[in-house]
Amino acid sequence: MTSVSDILKLLPAGLIWSIQFKSCLSLHEDNSTAMPNYTDYNYSLDYDDIPQLCVKDSNRHFRLWFMPTFYSIICLLGLAGNILVILTFFYFKRLKTMTDVYLLNLSFADLLFALSLPFWAANSTAEWVLGLALCKAMHTIYKVSFYSSMFLLSFISVDRYFAIAKAVSAHRHRSQAMFLSKVSSALIWVMALMFSIPEMSYTTINNNTCTPYSSTSDPLRVRVQASQIVLAFALPLLVMSFCYSSIVQTLCQARNFERNKAIKVILAVVAVFLVCQVPYNLVLFWTTVLAAKGGTENCNYENLLLYATDVTQCVAFLRCCLNPFVYAFIGVKFRHDLLKLLKDLGCMSQERFFRYTCGRRRSSAANDTETTTTFSP
């Protein structure tokens, strides 16, 4: 029995080639009828419906020099100022009043915050490579120190209010003051730790960045930032406004030649708080509102908000290095003890120490009180 291959061998080569060509031609005609001819249609893509990525290169370059520079300055000043306050307290055993206890705790809170700033600089300028544990620790330390310092500033204003505006009742409960200050300080740290639980729980490494939020419109971001504005800004602002306005009214009624100087000190304390905290909290409030609305589609507007957040946040971080000068070094006794500490450590000569202290001590001896923050220069 002859096979197909044997038959093909008997046929001439030209005939075989013509059969194959006709079969390929017929197959092409069948495919052309089955497949549509795309050249007969005009296709146009609507690029308006495709979301465009917001380019933030300018903000990234700005952060590369701005964040490390300011964080380094704040870190160095914060470490120096708060370490001097802590050393002065322990060297001279100055824990005698409620304000002293609050100031010591405030210095520890600001010192913790200053120690975390190098990690904040690394997170804002490069990819986070230090692991999840250190990422969570950085955010937790920041929030604990932030809340505790804001609460301590409020308690300092309350203590000054009772010491000056309610001097009679404050003197009556003077024996219980130290116990109350230590208990209230412990409660402040516990409350600050409780309010920092979201950072401990949700902070993770997202897009090579250490952050507790998944996006700019994350519902968690709205809740955390809203609670921060209320608890760590609005509430301390109300307490400090009431206390210091009452203190100013009391001082205005007093007939003391140091009255005007004391009022200037109070205004400086309030001004530092407002200048450092108000701009950042306004920007934080607006970004919270935008996050609640689902964010913004305007790329330029989003970049401007990033610039505003970076700049105002650095100004707010200045509080950790300004607090020692505003609350501690402004007191006459504290300044004298600080200079004496520097002399004992060999950082100041005996001659210079007497030049800085003798004249000032004579002029202020009649007005110097036990409290660290005397509201007199």
Q: Domains in the chain and their CATH numbers?
A: 56-367 (1.20.1070.10)
pLDDT tens by residue, 134-155: 999 999 999 999 999 999 999 9
Task: With a cut of 70, say whether residue 14 has pLDDT above it.
Answer: no
Higher pLDDT, 373 or 168: 168
Phi–psi pair at 148, nearest 5 degrees = -65, -40
User: Which two three-digit tokens encode residue 75?
Assistant: 């870190």
Q: Please tell me the predicted confidence (pLDDT) of residue 47.
A: 47
Quote the strand ranges of 58-188, DSSP E: none
Beta strands in the chain (DSSP E): 204-206, 209-211
- Best-predicted range by mean pLDDT (56-65, 197-206, 230-239): 230-239
pTM recorded for the entire structure? 0.80
Lowest mean pLDDT across 40-49, 284-293, 311-320: 40-49
Residue indicated by tokens 């915050």:
113
**Cα gap 284→312, rounded to integer Å:** 9
Find the mean pLDDT for residues 48-67: 75
Instruction: Please say if the pLDDT value at position 253 is more than 80.
Output: yes
pLDDT at 76: 95
Local confidence band at 374 (pLDDT 50, 70, 90 cut-offs) = very low
Please tell me which residue, 337 or 82, carries the higher pLDDT value: 82
Q: Which pLDDT belongs to residue 220?
A: 84
Residue 303 has a CB neighbour count (10 Å cut-off) of 17
Sequential DSSP letters for 161-182: IIIIITHHHHHHTGGGHHHHHH
Average pLDDT over residues 85-111: 90
Q: Are 210 and 128 in contact (CB under 8 A)?
A: yes
Q: What are phi and psi of 297, to 5 degrees?
A: -95, -5
* Burial classification of residue 21, based on how many CB atoms lie within 10 Å of its CB (0-12 exposed, 13-18 middle, 19 or more buried): exposed
* pLDDT (0 to 100) of residue 350: 80
Predicted local distance difference test score (pLDDT) of residue 172? 73
Structure tokens at 166: 């309610």
- Phi/psi of residue 204, each to 5°? -150, 180
Q: Is the dihedral of CA 100, 104, 106, 110 positive or negative?
A: positive
* The pLDDT value given to residue 359: 54
- Output the pLDDT for position 311: 94
Q: What is the DSSP letter of 35?
A: S
Beta bridge partners of residue 21, listed in sequence order? none
Nearest to 184 by CA among 83, 102, 274: 102
Q: At what angle do helices 132-160 and 98-125 cross, to 10 degrees?
A: 150
Backbone φ/ψ region at 3: left (φ over 0), alpha (ψ -120 to 50), beta: beta
Report CA-CA distances (Å) from 224 to 229, 278, 285, 292, 305: 9, 18, 11, 12, 18
Return the pLDDT at 370: 41
pLDDT at 51: 52
Average pLDDT over residues 110-116: 93
Give the pLDDT score at 32: 47
Angle in degrees, CA 103, 78, 327, rounded to 5: 30
Rounded to whole angstroms, the Cα distance separating 232 from 150 reads 6
> pLDDT at position 83, please?
94
